[in-house]
Structure 1
């Protein structure tokens, strides 16, 4: 008789059947993340016959408790690093072994849980890596009781990076010069050997040189990056600091210029369909167009047919070409307030692959039929030639629907725009049933003056037109993943893991301080977070809870193995809709072309073999772009406010650490820091559970998301750093003085850290 799912087999049963313990099963899954399916586990432990029922029940219980997560037919530990990653080798341990960490890592991640011990390679197998190198490595959980949680074997060593420092030249009264590094917290360097073409205020690359034991470290100027660092040029700092390729090699530009427009041969002719593009008003490229109409099938009453057409970049960027190699190197386009670093040259992105109004363009399109309840009934992909009926902006399309059409949208209103909004209403029903994560965190945009300096910071209005396009694109991405899975075609998924157990527990402890509960032991679902967010909507805790829930989430990535997309609550998802600016989408386009026999320019066997490496590279490139974009905004705002020292601002506490408080200015969205030593006479202690700094004597303090008044006391525009002084008095905190003692008890020492790593590996 089979046991009920989730129940543990009695010890006696296990002894009689020689079945493994749950801990042994967990250890096998952790050590074999890419090969741990039910069949592999049964084979590893010799589980046969009726004992397979016990294994099925045990694995179901482990999933219910959140201890393992399904990745297709495989099982893995939640929150684990992927099997292949781009790493930076940062140091050596006491025994001389190389230590690395993810090249672009989650800033909220536990440092101890993301370190990787590099295993020595075989002699003669390529260049030996060293400290400072960037490598592609295959990871596995470490079998050591102490030290890094992962071990890595190097697959590839990237081009050696020069050991240089990026900084700004600062002249002193005695005629000497210093280099002020752009990286926060780095000490100044004394410049020697002359400045060459550089002058005071220039952004330069400098190479450290040996100097006397005492005094400042020394460096010499290698090259001038930019003249006189101004607000207009701060994006160049991030471009160089993150080594973002921004100049196309001559052979890439030559290839792009030589490409002839693709014709209609071998394509379905869709030029009569009134597809329209809806983009930001200042968009220069238009890679997606949409159309909708009621379904005329009597078996689908109230249903709709939605069409999404995407620029056919695969028709121009062929595997292995200079264009393709450069696109993979860049991974994605990078967007700064004053410029864009594109993945592809303008000849491709703004011309041949831009779905311009009234011009013939090749596209890869998907037609999707939805029932009245928003459930997708079927879909099909087509390689077509199309002609955009209109180029519209989000506000323009929204105004037409809201009753204020202009000369361009008036003729389109009845036949094109209203059917789009009717279809969006249908898809919204499906989204409501699906219940993706619904965080409410406004995004700010910097508006620049003509000279490139900051004019103002705004929160753009979130229109139904934005949500319409977003939902259409999500459904097209799902259709792409489903088609490729159905054809057993290899692809790169867009994956988003559930929050790690450690982050779940931290969030649970925090919510308890507000009288809110998060279920323990159950498999996480976005709906659980949505219910919490709904409970605090409109309350004083709304902003705080949204922020903490966001921080509990894992970071999305690309991978050839599917684990689903937690935030969107989708079982399979692949990026298909932006091949102009994301290499992942180009891979999916090629995969569709190969799987459906739509032409000779599909995914090649060589590309399929490298998908794991490609996914790791473009995931790292995405994180690199995010960091560069964020740092540029910080520098722009810091430069803008550098003339406003001693002014008071309204801010929100955006981060709490032992060292002090991070605050975000409400008007500008920029972050600054308040050292704990400047908060007052009390001795402030970090209360991790409450996300607060609490005075040991008074029980008063400051908490994440508190609204406070601050004074700007120091600005470092080049580093993007600002230091503030707290003006608001401390407030009573949950638990009061007891918070200090609780924080003290919860403080984790080295032994607890080691125990935590051992527990995670079991």
Structure 2
């Protein structure tokens, strides 16, 4: 026979006891709090007043439609939107329907789950936990990946700002507020979300999630592919540090060609410049009017070694 868990003493809790309960629970609705402390009638009205005062004092924050949490805390599990991508390509989520005190959390994907990784604007079910560097959100399930997102080009006029999809098969031209388009140019590539509403006719409403680049960029096609498939951009601090700490490969067993005035043949927008050429007249009388051409290809494997 199992024993019933110890119930808290009946009666309205003080401020510290209430916050301690919410800290352990993650979040709770008023009815759950009242049930936990065995409150009835007038005590429930007093609890509602206490919660209102604590919220006004900045000690409690709303979580969902009816829930509350200690300010700056997150529930164990919740529905969140992917709202930000940093320079390293890491994604951050924010709890849906939460007050402004709810912190963002680093999205930690589950690599064992099949299917594409979440991207900007996706809604996800996550498990929240405090990490060494702040809150983390471990992915449980992606709820509506890509269903309400448009990758498009900004088109500005005096009357409105539109996002025209780059996918010619898509008919989702979006109207976005002028305030969201401040700092954006006509022709900028952006990722936008379709706003849900009751509008049945005319262009749909949208909001801009992030700027991808510009349609005139030499890398426009690559940028569109990267955004469409949620390919991470940038590198983590650990990778950048490891690259900076690399030693130059030894010249042992190699011919030193650094005095040759090599010219790179990679375009200006290339991510790396590792191919070059140099041409010189051949002075050998057996090769009249001949040329010698050096084709130099960087030995990348000398830098990128196993387990680095």
Structures share fold, TM-score greater than 0.5: no
Q: TM-score with structure 2 length normalisation?
A: 0.38
Q: TM-score with structure 1 length normalisation?
A: 0.18
Where is the helix percentage greater, Structure 1 or Structure 2?
1
